[in-house]
Structure 1
């Protein structure tokens, strides 16, 4: 089992009420999405209020998709978040000019090759990888593809601190994810919602409890 607690990132928080409920449930990180196409997109001023309210209790992650560096940095400076997550077709060089540590999302498919992931491991200012499922049509055999990439990344460097697993997680399946991959963190959005962009306090509590219990000795 992991030697340290698995970090819990609750992503797609869109209001202060849900942010406070996530903190109370036991989240370690809150994801604030700025991708225009996302149903969980948060307004900048709302994100700023959330980041200010939870500062010192949890970390906040600003999530972007194919945004230019100047727009990312302006938003991040305004809201005062802790990390930037890049979730598009960005080049690894972008991480070096972002003003917060980067979490790089990797959508895992049969076409995702190790040589496409390694430059992010080696890039300046990349703190973590986040391995995600395809959204539109989740691939059969996704777990096998993740196994392949996970071994390639985690076996070749001692400096890289760890990776997240995301995509389709819930209180019911997250213990098996933790046992199988021993991730640095897990990321959940729809699995703790009552509707897209609306978090459910009970589901967040159940998810966080399931993560903590997965770490307990059998």
Structure 2
């Protein structure tokens, strides 16, 4: 089970997530009018530099601007996660994660799909849609939306995703992570690996 802690706004939270066992960190950029977790590109660089080479860095955005998309890619994250249906003539040079929500067709022109209706609001994912996505997709499916340390175990057992992604479920306030909740979330995920 892979785990992404998303919506990180401070280098110290990125370092803590990595030390606690997260596989990936997500930083929201170019989304100032959509996300309260948005950070400037320079801050994103600092956050990405705070983790080691074996932790995946993901630039997350709701932008509709191709110029902003290019700036995101220029950060050299390991992956970009986008919610708009940008078309690429050539591979962007980083892993591409596309967001899909209830009722939407699953994208195929990407490296992974994140099933998420929440976009950091804590809205719970659609269980039926998520299960169908895992069953039918030919690429990894990441589960997000309303996950917390208390419910992630049941979500993993029910959906069997490639990875889980949490933002609001491990926060004190938008963008400020609760280190105890991060540890509890990761522990709950790792516990599922022990269950046959």
Fold shared, TM-score > 0.5 on shorter chain: yes
Find the partner of 1:40 among 37, 40, 63.
37
CA 1:191–1:167 in structure 2 vs 1: closer, same or farther (change >3 Å)?
same
CA 1:198–1:95 in structure 2 vs 1: closer, same or farther (change >3 Å)?
farther
Mapped partners of 2:40, 2:3: distance in 1? 23
Unaligned runs of 5+ in 1: 1-5
Unaligned runs of 5+ in 2: none
Find the partner of 2:132 among 139, 142, 148.
148
| Count of equivalent residues | 193
1:94 partner SS: coil
Alignment RMSD (CA, Å): 2.2
CA 1:200–1:87 in structure 2 vs 1: closer, same or farther (change >3 Å)?
same
Mapped partners of 1:188, 1:22: distance in 2? 11
Q: 1:94 is matched with which residue?
A: 88
* Larger-gyration structure (1/2): 1
Find the partner of 1:30 among 8, 18, 25.
25
User: Taking structure 1 as the reference length, what is the TM-score of the superposition?
Assistant: 0.80
2:4 partner SS: strand
**1:176-213 CA-partner distances (Å, limit 9, x unpaired):** 11111211100000110011110011100000011001
CA 1:29–1:19 in structure 2 vs 1: closer, same or farther (change >3 Å)?
same
Q: Are the equivalent residues in 2 in contact too, given 1:72–1:98 (CA < 8 A)?
A: no
Q: Which runs of 4+ in 1 moved over 6 A?
A: none
Mapped partners of 1:105, 1:56: distance in 2? 25
Q: Are the equivalent residues in 2 in contact too, given 1:69–1:94 (CA < 8 A)?
A: no
User: Taking structure 2 as the reference length, what is the TM-score of the superposition?
Assistant: 0.88
Mapped partners of 2:27, 2:123: distance in 1? 23
Which structure carries more helix by proportion? 1
